[in-house]
Amino acid sequence: MTSSCLVPPQLEVFSNQLQTLGNGKGLVDPETRLTQFPSNSCTLVKFADDLMDMVFPSILQNYKPDWIREGAILAPKNALVANLNLKVLRILPGNKKWYDLIDAVMNPSDAFNYPTELLNSLDPPGCPPHVLHLKVGAPVSLL
């Protein structure tokens, strides 16, 4: 048995635009040498809170785990994503729990070169943050 998924036309257009940009074939402004985004590919806002309100309108009134999974915010830097995630998590109902990661070096003689404070400040791509904040019902992406 096979199933198919119908993709709304605007999502297919957006997907193709992202693929074009990712392949380095996007339009480049000759004066600024910056990549030009199609006008229909994004909405510009001044503040991150405005973006959160657009993607997750009336979050307290509309919140359901399935509803919140329908929205996504794409950002160029992981630090901005982490900040937005914490803001949304604070708004969601329920008690927040946090978990500290273990921060130790494999070879005890390396402890001088890699102090705990340094290890705690690192946020390498693909790894969870030093302190992981979670709430029951909040979406989690596992890679």
- The arithmetic mean of pLDDT across residues 5-34, rounded, is 74
Dump strand ranges (E) for the chain. Answer: 97-100, 131-134
Question: 40 falls in which pLDDT band (50, 70, 90)?
Answer: low
Whether residue 85 is found in the same domain as residue 48: yes
26 assigned to some structural domain: no
- Residue 9 confidence (pLDDT): 64
Token pair for 42: 């994004």
pLDDT in tens, 63-116: 887 888 777 777 777 778 788 888 888 888 889 898 887 777 788 787 777 777
Whether residue 84 is found in the same domain as residue 108: no
CA distance 67 to 52: 14
Question: 1 falls in which pLDDT band (50, 70, 90)?
Answer: very low
13 assigned to some structural domain: no
5 assigned to some structural domain: no
- Residue 4 confidence (pLDDT): 42
Whether residue 45 is found in the same domain as residue 89: yes
